[in-house]
């Protein structure tokens, strides 16, 4: 696994492959979240730098690499785009790592879970999927989503709940 | 600790997608630190982000981007200090009753918090945040048997119980329980007999109290 090579040996070729795969995707997410090109490039540097620095802390039993990099990008977005604080997220990560809180979940479970989530996302009705994308990719607040879609806030919330419930339903088979 | 009241699903998704301000993410992270069940849910909610990142189209990254990052890494390492993150050290033992994610905000022990009386039987400790926000974050310590005046909420309010317990129309809330209320819920919590209830509260907007007497208690939740 690429990330393991970066973690164990600071393997630059492996890191380059990760950069080539995730860099453009992270940039695209930052652009859609409202960053301009220059800022988005900056954020790609920051996110990939964190990937390099924290590769040893990546825990496959918690989820796939893409999920881990997503959380790094989200945290950068919270700090730099929203000018809020990702500190609570970082502190939570720390205590999870320090106490080995994997809750009996393992690598195989985590990757199956992610596959089911992926499939469930593909099967979501458009109106639910769009709201999820606005929140996760476009970094829109619930109230902004409501305004954009000309829907009451309550409808946005209930569609989010529906989408999440459907996703969870797909995970039942894993239990 | 049996936790009965958890994160609302939309709160979970907002946390996972980065849509909460500092006040609310502190409360949510503190609940997550105490609750295995919600931490498992969070992984699912974050998998959504991972999947959408993977599916995302690829923007053009400038030509020199990779060599630029390698230069930065080389420079940092040439300075002699490692830039690689160290694995976190195991949790400190000893007497601490504050969830770890909250310790940088209020210290490690509830007993060390300095309180200010805001109404008979009600003490408050405001928590300073590091980023600007419309929301307020504070601790409340309410004496046993004390009722908090009935109020609807001007906005979202989230309360995490750290010690003691209260009861309202939604049930009993003890340590680790999270009351994740949106604006339309009316509730009248009463602290259970025995010990004071200490809780962490984030509010989005000032609470509207009913009645004149209750309004005297406004400073209780006032921002
Ligand atoms: Zn929970």
Strand partners, B138: B126, B201
Residue A150 burial (C-beta neighbours within 10 Å; 0-12, 13-18, 19+):
exposed
With b meaning 16 or more CB within 10 Å and e meaning fewer, what string describes B55-89? ebeebebeeebbeebeeebeebeeeeeeebeeeee
Q: Which residue of chain A is at minimal alpha-carbon distance from B26?
A: A88
> Is A148 a residue whose pLDDT tops 90?
yes
Question: Can you read off the two tokens belonging to residue B77?
Answer: 């390492």
Query: Binning pLDDT at 50, 70 and 90, where does residue B209 land?
Result: very low
Residue B116 host element (H or E): strand B116-119
Closest CA to B29 of B104, B114, B123, B128: B104
Mean pLDDT of chain B: 86
Q: What is the pLDDT of residue A108?
A: 87
What lies within 8 Å, CB to CB, of B107 at 6+ separation is B98, B113
Q: Which chain B residues have a beta carbon less than 8 Å from that of A73?
A: 53
Q: Tell me what percent of the residues of chain B surpass a pLDDT of 70.
A: 83
Examine the pLDDT at A65 and tell me if it is beyond 90: yes
Contact B65 A67 (CB under 8 A): no
What is the per-residue pLDDT for B137?
A: 95
CATH label, A107-174, candidates 1.10.150.170, 3.40.50.300, 1.10.10.10, 3.30.9.10: 1.10.10.10
Class of domain B107-221 (CATH, top level): mainly beta
CA distance A169 to B53: 22
Nearest in space to B124 (alpha carbons), one of B21, B7, B218, B20: B218
Residue in the block written with tokens 């030509």: B63
The string of pLDDT tens digits covering residues B109-168 is: 999 999 999 889 999 999 999 998 889 999 999 999 998 765 555 678 899 999 999 998
Domain definitions of chain A by residue range: 2-104, 107-174
Mean pLDDT of B63-88: 89
pLDDT, greater one: B212 or B43: B43
Q: Taking 70 as the threshold, does the pLDDT of residue B42 lie above it? A: yes
Long-range contacts of B11-14 (CB under 8 A, 24+ apart): B11/B158, B11/B180, B12/A164, B12/B38, B12/B41, B12/B42, B12/B45, B13/A132, B13/A135, B13/A160, B13/A164, B13/B45, B13/B48, B14/A135, B14/A142
pLDDT at A170: 86
Ligand 1 centre distance from Cα of residue A152 (Å): 27
Boundaries of every domain in chain B: 107-221
Q: How confident is the model at residue A77 (pLDDT cuts 50, 70, 90)?
A: very high
A174 exposure class (CB count in 10 Å sphere: 0-12, 13-18, 19+): exposed
Task: Copy the structure tokens of residue A45.
Answer: 């540097």
Inspect the interface and report whether the beta carbons of B14 and A135 lie closer than 8 Å.
Answer: yes
Share of residues in chain A with pLDDT > 90 (%): 83
Q: Per-residue pLDDT averaged across B170-181, rounded? A: 92
Cβ–Cβ under 8 Å, residues A111 and B102 = no
In this prediction, residue B210 carries a pLDDT of 45
B53 closest CB neighbour out of A25, A49, A165: A25
Dist CA B129 CA A87 (whole Å)? 11
State the best of A92, A122, A123 to mutate against chain B, taking most chain B CBs within 10 Å. Answer: A92
Of A19, A62, A84, the CB nearest to B22: A84
Closest residue to A117, CB basis, from B44, B53, B91: B44
* Res A72 pLDDT > 90: yes
Cα of B176 from ligand 1 centre, angstroms: 8
Q: pLDDT tens digit string along A78-114? A: 999 999 999 999 999 988 887 765 555 688 889 999 9
- Looking at CA atoms only, how far is residue B127 from chain A in angstroms? 14
pLDDT band at B211 (very low <50, low <70, confident <90, very high): very low
State the best of B31, B54, B82, B104 to mutate against chain A, taking most chain A CBs within 10 Å: B54
Nearest to A74 among B13, B28, B49 (CB): B49
Q: Does domain A2-104 have CATH number 3.40.190.10?
A: no
Q: Which residues of A touch B17 (CB under 8 A)?
A: 74, 135-136, 139
Q: What is the mean pLDDT of residues B195-199?
A: 96
pTM as predicted? 0.92
**Confidence band (pLDDT; 50, 70, 90) for B12?**
very high
User: B201 versus B97: which is more confidently predicted?
Assistant: B201
């Amino acid at each position: 696994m690429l990330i393991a090579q970066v973690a164990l040996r600071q393997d630059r070729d492996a890191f380059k492959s990760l950069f080539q795969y995730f860099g453009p995707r992270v940039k695209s997410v930052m652009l859609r979240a409202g960053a301009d090109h220059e800022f988005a490039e900056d954020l790609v540097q920051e996110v990939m730098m964190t990937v390099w620095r924290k590769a040893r802390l990546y825990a496959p039993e918690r989820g796939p690499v893409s999920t881990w990099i997503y959380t790094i990008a989200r945290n950068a977005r919270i700090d730099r785009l929203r000018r809020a604080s990702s500190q609570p997220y970082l502190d939570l990560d720390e205590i999870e790592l320090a106490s080995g809180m994997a809750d009996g979940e393992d690598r195989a479970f985590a990757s199956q879970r992610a596959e089911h989530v992926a499939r469930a996302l593909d099967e979501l009705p458009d109106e639910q999927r769009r709201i999820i994308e606005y929140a996760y990719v476009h970094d829109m607040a619930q109230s902004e989503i409501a305004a954009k879609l000309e829907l009451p806030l309550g409808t946005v919330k209930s569609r989010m709940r529906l989408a999440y419930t459907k996703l969870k339903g797909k995970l039942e088979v894993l239990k | 600790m049996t936790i009965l009241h958890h994160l609302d699903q939309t709160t979970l998704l907002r946390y996972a997608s980065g849509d909460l301000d500092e006040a609310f993410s502190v409360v949510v992270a503190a609940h997550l630190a105490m609750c295995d069940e919600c931490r498992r849910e969070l992984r699912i909610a974050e998998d959504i982000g991972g999947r959408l990142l993977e599916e995302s189209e690829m923007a053009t990254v400038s030509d020199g981007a990779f060599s630029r990052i390698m230069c930065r890494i080389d420079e940092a390492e040439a300075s002699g200090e490692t830039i690689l993150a160290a694995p976190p050290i195991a949790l400190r033992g000893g007497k601490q009753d504050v969830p770890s994610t909250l310790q940088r905000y209020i210290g490690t022990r509830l007993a060390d918090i300095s309180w200010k009386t805001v109404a008979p039987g009600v003490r408050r400790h405001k928590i300073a945040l590091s980023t600007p926000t419309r929301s307020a974050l504070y601790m409340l310590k309410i004496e046993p048997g004390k009722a908090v005046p009935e109020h609807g909420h001007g906005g979202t309010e989230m309360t995490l119980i750290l010690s003691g317990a209260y009861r309202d129309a939604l049930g009993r809330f003890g340590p680790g329980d999270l009351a994740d209320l949106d604006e339309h819920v009316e509730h009248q919590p009463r602290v259970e007999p025995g010990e004071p209830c200490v809780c962490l509260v984030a509010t989005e907007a000032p609470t509207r109290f009913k009645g004149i007497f209750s309004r005297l208690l406004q400073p209780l939740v006032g921002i």
